[in-house]
Structure formats: C-alpha cells, structure tokens
C-alpha cells in the first residue's frame, strides 16, 4: 500500500486529492476518502494537494495513524455497512461514485 489517508481527512474530505489523482484510485466514503492499495501507482500527486496533510506514504505513517493503514485496505476488502460484498478493485473511483459509507472504525472515530 503506497499511500494512506489518515485521521485529518475525517469529516473534512476536501477532495483535492481525488481531482489530482491521475489513476482515479481515491474513493470517497461518508466521512473520509480512501486510497485503493493496488490501484495506486505510487506517483505521490495526491500528497502535496491535501490541505489538511492527511495523506502519508505508508512507511511514513505516524504511529497514532497506524489504524488508518488497515482501514484504507479494509474499505476495499470487507463488506461495508449496508453492502452485501466488498468493493474489491472496480478499476477506478469513477465507476463507483461517492459511496457514502465508511468502515466501522471510521464511522466510530472521533477526532
């Protein structure tokens, strides 16, 4: 997983990163955005445009942000609340649109 979106995105979701991503790998939930771990090509275009500095290279993710690495992956690999199956790898966020739902961890997260 090259890049991870962390806690600063929760309830902010500026979406500048979504617009900047050349491979359309940033998906929007209800409270935050998520980077698809296998669709991301590690270009780094999203990181500098995030106004709240919520995007990290996975190796640089601060210790208190570590749960977000798992949640970014879980968003795609496990069924989200109200969905029968996982999102998987749909080949770009444009195919799914705004999903409006988050992992249980992010739903319960309080910044």
Domains along the chain with CATH numbers: 3-108 (3.30.70.20)
Under DSSP, the state recorded for 48 is G
| Per-residue pLDDT, 32 | 97
| Per-residue pLDDT, 70 | 94
Q: How far is the first Cα of the chain from the last one, in angstroms, to the nearest whole number?
A: 24
What is the per-residue pLDDT across 26-49, written as a single tens digit (0 to 9) for each? 999 999 999 999 999 999 999 999
What is the per-residue pLDDT across 48-100, written as a single tens digit (0 to 9) for each? 999 999 999 999 999 999 999 999 999 999 999 888 999 999 999 998 999 99
pTM over 0.75: yes
Buried/exposed code over 1-26 (b: 16+ C-beta within 10 A; e: otherwise): bebbbbbbbbebbeeebbebbeebbb
C-alpha 54/C-alpha 9 separation (Å) is 6
């Amino acid at each position: 997983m090259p890049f991870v979106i962390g806690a600063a995105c929760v309830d902010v979701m500026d979406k500048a990163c979504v617009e900047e991503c050349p491979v359309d790998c940033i998906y929007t939930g209800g409270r935050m955005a998520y980077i698809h771990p296998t669709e991301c090509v590690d270009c780094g275009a999203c990181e500098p445009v995030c106004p709240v500095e919520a995007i990290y290279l996975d190796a640089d993710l601060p210790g208190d942000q570590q749960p977000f690495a798992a949640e970014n992956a879980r968003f795609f690999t496990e069924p989200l609340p109200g969905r029968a199956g996982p999102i998987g790898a749909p080949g770009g966020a444009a195919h799914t649109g705004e999903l409006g739902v988050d992992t249980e961890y992010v739903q319960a997260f309080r910044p």
